[in-house]
């Protein structure tokens, strides 16, 4: 059951081969046994999980099960959960019990999914290694001395080690795709606006988007179908008909199921910056796509290299504004001793935020300040427009775009801890997609020379989720990279 796919779990639950309570207990026991080594969870909610599982069992007995009823999952600790600690990986919120559910959390509850708890993450989702968490680094299940990627590293590690079959995440500049790649699982970041940001603690609001982790594209499709949908409480939520991403995968596949699919290979992604073992695995995967009937065409994203400077101006600018709400007045940490109000703000924020968050707030405040706004922020916005236009031009010649998710496999814990810029550079292949608001998916496509997973990134046009998931699913029907598990998963 630990390694079962979501459709297999569904069948087992519906056939009463296992109850939801038994299933939740199975995963809770695994978290108990393995999480001390991984540190993937900040909060394990045994009581809540068992209560939800009992309710799910009743619903199944009544013949009213939805696709996720009774299925255990984990939420990134960026999502507000009513009555459950919601820390965002920060000391600032280390005492914050949310009074309400995020939209995504509410939808999954209503679907009857069983939340096992909240997963560890980079503080306020800022990072690419999950080392900036107040709750300590998450370990990569494939090699415990490696990073799992960030910022949704806890969710990715939990799914890879089978501490949960599926998990939610968020992706501002790669935080679903990059940890999925590093942990050897599948992750999808949808089109901006598809998943409500209500109750998802904001980092950079114009880039943040909720996403899904699973072992396979099919599991991601089932989770995403339940997460997506219009929400009037998020002003950027898009009103469009709901899609059943999983049903679309069930269509019978011929010998060449991707016949007619045109895959664009951006020249700039393949030119330099990719480690040899990543390149080998990515090229082999593209060959498999050709075997499935897809054709490939070279495309160009001339401004993609500017994604790093543009992103690392825009994201800090938005974060400096978003994080101003953490002032010790209404919720979260407050300094124990202070003089006047200004001193209280200062001490609270000095104590509550870690180094990376402070660095971003400083950078963000600087680029928005009088005299620098035009030089930095406005310029970055212009670059953002150019980057988005590049993708639209490229997508004239292809249906999806493929390339690496990351330049290398997972690096060693501590390796970049003192070099933030080096870490920012590792986001080179993921940031542009958020700047353009496009959907992106990462799927495991091989192992590097160190035995660690390599991710293949697929990028689609707006609302191309179904196409991405279908392509990844067809690939997974003829390959077994997505079924490989780290030794710790047993
Ligand atoms: N690594 C990027 C950053 O630190 C992306 C993080 C994310 O997507 N939340 O901003």
Is residue 98 flagged as an active site residue?
Answer: no
Give the pLDDT of residue 417: 83
**What's the mean pLDDT when you consider all of the chain?**
97
Please classify residue 57 by burial: count the beta carbons closer than 10 Å to its beta carbon, then call 0-12 exposed, 13-18 middle and 19+ buried: buried
pLDDT digits (tens, 9 = 90+) for 31-77: 999 999 999 999 999 999 999 999 999 999 999 999 999 999 999 99
What local confidence, expressed as pLDDT, does residue 253 receive?
72
User: Is residue 443 pLDDT above 80, yes or no?
Assistant: yes
Ligand 1 close to Cβ of residue 173 (< 6 A): yes
Strand order in the sheet with 114-119: 41-44, 114-119, 72-76, 166-170, 210-214, 186-189, 440-447, 453-460, 400-404, 262-266, 295-299
**Is pLDDT at 454 greater than 90 in this prediction?**
yes
**What pLDDT is attached to residue 99?**
97
Per-residue confidence (pLDDT) for residue 200, from 0 to 100: 98
Query: How far is residue 377 CA from its own chain's centroid?
Result: 26
Q: What is the pLDDT of residue 231?
A: 98
What is the band of 250 on the pLDDT scale with cuts at 50, 70, 90? confident
Give the model's pLDDT for residue 432. Answer: 98
Q: From the CA of 128, how far away is ligand 1's center (Å)?
A: 6
Pocket residue to mutate for ligand 1, from 78, 88, 128, 168, most atoms within 8 A of Cβ: 128
Condensed to tens digits (0 to 9), the pLDDT of residues 119-148 reads 999 999 999 999 999 999 999 999 999 999
pLDDT value at residue 68: 98
Q: What is the pLDDT of residue 255?
A: 82
Q: Which long-range contacts (CB under 8 A, 24 or more apart) does 204-207 make?
A: 204/172, 204/314, 204/315, 204/316, 204/317, 204/318, 204/319, 204/322, 205/236, 205/318, 205/322, 206/236, 206/314, 206/318, 207/172, 207/173, 207/311, 207/314, 207/315, 207/318, 207/434, 207/435
Active-site residue among 19, 20, 76, 442? 76
Rounded to a whole number of angstroms, the distance between the first and last alpha carbons of the chain is: 12
The pTM of this model reads: 0.98
Catalytic residue status for 225 = no
Render pLDDT for 157-213 as a digit per residue (tens, 0 to 9). Answer: 999 999 999 999 999 999 999 999 999 999 999 999 999 999 999 999 999 999 999
- Which residue is catalytic, options 151, 152, 196, 225? 151
Q: Reply yes or no on whether 128 is catalytic.
A: no
Average pLDDT of span 260-274: 95
Give the pLDDT score at 5.
98
Q: What's residue 272's pLDDT?
A: 87
| pLDDT (0 to 100) of residue 420 | 93
């Amino acid at each position: 059951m630990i390694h079962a796919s979501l459709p297999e779990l569904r069948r087992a639950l519906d056939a009463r081969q296992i109850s939801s309570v038994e299933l939740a207990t199975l995963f809770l026991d695994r978290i108990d046994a393995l999480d001390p080594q991984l540190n993937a969870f900040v909060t394990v909610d045994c009581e809540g999980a068992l209560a939800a599982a009992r309710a799910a069992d009743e619903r199944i007995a009544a013949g009213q099960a939805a696709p996720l009823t009774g299925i255990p999952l984990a939420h990134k600790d960026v999502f507000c959960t009513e009555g459950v600690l919601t820390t965002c990986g920060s000391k600032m919120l280390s005492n914050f019990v949310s009074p309400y559910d995020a939209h995504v959390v509410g939808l999954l509850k209503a679907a009857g999914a069983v939340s096992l708890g909240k997963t560890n993450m980079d503080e306020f989702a800022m990072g690419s290694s999950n080392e900036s968490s107040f709750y300590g680094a998450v370990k990569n299940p494939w090699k415990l001395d490696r990073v799992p990627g960030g910022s949704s590293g806890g969710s990715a590690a939990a799914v890879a080690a089978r501490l949960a079959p599926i998990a939610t995440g968020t992706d501002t500049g790669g935080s679903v795709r990059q940890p999925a790649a590093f942990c050897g699982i599948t992750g999808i970041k949808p089109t901006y606006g598809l998943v409500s940001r209500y109750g998802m603690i904001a980092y950079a609001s114009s880039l943040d988007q909720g996403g899904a982790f699973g072992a396979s594209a099919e599991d991601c499709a089932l989770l995403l179908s339940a997460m997506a949908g219009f929400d009037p409480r998020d002003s950027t939520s898009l009103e469009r008909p709901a899609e059943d991403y999983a049903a679309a995968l069930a269509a019978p596949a011929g010998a060449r199921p991707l016949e007619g699919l045109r895959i664009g290979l951006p020249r700039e992604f393949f030119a330099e910056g990719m480690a040899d073992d990543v390149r080998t695995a990515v090229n082999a995967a593209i060959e498999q796509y050709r075997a499935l009937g897809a054709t490939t065409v070279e495309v160009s994203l001339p401004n993609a290299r500017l994604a790093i400077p543009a992103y690392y101006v825009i994201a800090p600018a938005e974060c400096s504004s978003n994080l101003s709400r953490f002032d010790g007045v209404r919720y979260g940490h407050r300094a124990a001793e202070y003089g006047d109000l200004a001193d209280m703000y200062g001490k609270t924020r000095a104590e509550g935020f870690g180094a990376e968050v402070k660095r971003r707030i400083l950078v963000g405040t600087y680029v928005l300040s009088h005299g620098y706004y035009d030089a930095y922020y406005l310029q970055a916005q212009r670059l953002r427009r150019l980057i988005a236009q590049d993708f639209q031009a490229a997508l004239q010649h292809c249906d999806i775009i493929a390339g690496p998710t990351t330049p290398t496999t997972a690096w060693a814990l501590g390796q970049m801890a003192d070099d933030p810029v080096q870490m920012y550079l590792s986001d080179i292949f993921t940031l542009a997609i958020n700047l353009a608001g496009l959907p992106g998916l990462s799927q495991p496509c091989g192992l590097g020379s160190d035995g660690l997973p390599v991710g293949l990134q697929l990028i689609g046009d707006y609302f191309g989720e179904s196409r991405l998931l279908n392509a990844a699913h067809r690939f997974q029907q003829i390959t077994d990279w997505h079924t490989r598990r780290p030794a710790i998963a047993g």
